[in-house]
Amino acid sequence: MAAHGPARKMTARPGGPLTGTAQVPGDKSISHRSLILGAMAVGETRVSGLLEGQDVLDTAKAMAALGAEVTRLDDGAWSVHGVGVGGFAEPEDVIDCGNSGTGVRLIMGAVATSPIAVTFTGDASLRSRPMGRVTDPLALFGARTVGRAGGRLPLTLVGAEAPVPVDYATPMASAQVKSAVLLAGLNAPGQTVVTERTGTRDHTERMLRGFGAEVETIRTDDGFRITLTGQSELRPQTIAVPRDPSSAAFPVCAALIVPGSDVLVPNIGLNPTRAGLFGTLQEMGADLIYENLREEGGEPVADLRARFSPDMKGIAVPPERAASMIDEYPILSVVAAFAEGETVMSGVHELRVKESDRIDAMAVGLRACGVTVDETEDSLTVHGCGPGGVPGGAEAAARLDHRIAMSFLICGMAAKSPVSVDDAAPISTSFPDFERLMGALGATLEREDA
């Protein structure tokens, strides 16, 4: 039930500058949503640039198990023949979402207002993550769930036979929770409302509008209020998935800390709900510029140019920025280790329930690399090594978490001694081409089967 192959130790050695162009893969959030919304539309949706990482492939398999026809075409695009809102068939087997919290939580929302029973599971990481944050609001629609204590997978969700619309305030800043409620609202009569105090990534709202759903977002005194009108048909779309800013973060940050580097990362979506890291790096003094800034499909897009930045300084990252860079704290904490002074990352308790406890994973691994780190339940503070450099010379545990694995490998490219991760296999969930792409820029990555 692992989302990837057997454990694979990998070591990054310090080496020469990173130079060239890095074409990073398609956006993971948008890829999941393309398949799920395509499966809920009537007719054929075509998707180019889909991230073919394991997380998204698991969602493709799930959509097929629910009755959609999902095919990879000869030109590399994907075709999804949808079954329409409320048209999902009861799957014959368990739906295994592998490592993907986004996959499982969004699919739970999508099936919650159809009268079918669906059993979900995932790998050891996903089975340890909280699902109550999604099953609680889905219960308000009339869905029932039976699962392990603490709302953990595996669990069976029985969708509502006569769904009612819901008005729900998300208790935590989570696009997955917001999206699950909106997807469930598609097959409920009347208006479903979600309010969130902090704006989280808004791909579901934007894409639902693209598919023809009626979705309105209003800024209120205390956040955002999103209203969806249910039970209208979704129109199939042609989607070009933009490249993932969360994946771009890795070659960008590597270039900033490896001496002499100069790397171009083209066509990166800079939706403000996703781009918090890049502004943060600029505030730290990074030589990171947006070239060819333009608009594509209603979203800002640019080519990112990152050059070695020996004079970066630690900063306090404002907690209200957390949602716009929630997946980037692991790699930011590596950059912070190379900067001078303290980088304080607060308001980040959500990091404790990602693919791993990312506060703990980074604190333990960075300390092993010779970096001083403080943590609280809600914060991570990295005391940068500055010009003295990061010692490295350690092995970090990836904890079934792709972003932890990639972060420590980037650390090893710039540290004084090599850094290993015990298992690089999870990288395939979001960035299957990471090893080749970083190698082509000049990084030295060595693998050894554990």
The site for ligand S3P (CB under 6 A) is made up of 29, 102, 174-176, 179, 201, 326-327, 350
CB of 207 to ligand S3P, least distance (A): 11
Q: Among candidates 318, 388, 394, 387, which has minimal Cα distance to 362?
A: 394
CA triple 384-385-387, angle to 5 deg: 120
Q: Which is nearer to ligand S3P, 244 or 375 (CB)?
A: 244
CB of 277 to ligand S3P, least distance (A): 13
Q: Which is nearer to ligand S3P, 346 or 444 (CB)?
A: 346
Q: Show the tokens assigned to 44.
A: 């054929």
Count CB atoms within 10 A of the CB of residue 207: 22
Q: What is the 3-state secondary structure (H, E, C) of 22-63?
A: CCCCECHHHHHHHHHHHHHCEEEEEEECCCCCHHHHHHHHHH
Please pick, among 27, 96, 287, 327, the residue that the annotation labels catalytic.
327
Is residue 349 within 8 A of residue 323, CB to CB? The reply is no
Is residue 218 within 8 A of residue 8, CB to CB? The reply is no
**Does the annotation place 354 within a ligand binding site?**
yes
**Does the annotation place 129 within a ligand binding site?**
yes
**Does the annotation place 33 within a ligand binding site?**
yes
CB of 206 to ligand S3P, least distance (A): 12
Q: Which is nearer to ligand S3P, 145 or 246 (CB)?
A: 246
Is residue 99 within 8 A of residue 400, CB to CB? The reply is yes
Q: Which is nearer to ligand S3P, 202 or 433 (CB)?
A: 202
**Does the annotation place 358 within a ligand binding site?**
yes
CB of 324 to ligand S3P, least distance (A): 11
CB of 330 to ligand S3P, least distance (A): 11
Q: Where are the alpha helices (DSSP H) in 258-342?
A: 276-283, 329-338
Question: In whole angstroms, what is the distance from residue 143 CA to residue 140 CA?
Answer: 7
**Does the annotation place 29 within a ligand binding site?**
yes
Is residue 191 within 8 A of residue 223, CB to CB? The reply is no
Q: Which is nearer to ligand S3P, 203 or 305 (CB)?
A: 203
**Does the annotation place 61 within a ligand binding site?**
no
423 is catalytic: no
Catalytic positions are 327
Residue numbers belonging to the annotated binding site for phosphoenolpyruvate: 28, 101, 129, 176, 358, 403
Binding positions for 3-phosphoshikimate: 28-29, 33, 174, 176, 327, 354
Which residues sit in the known binding site?
Answer: 28-29, 33, 101, 129, 174, 176, 327, 354, 358, 403
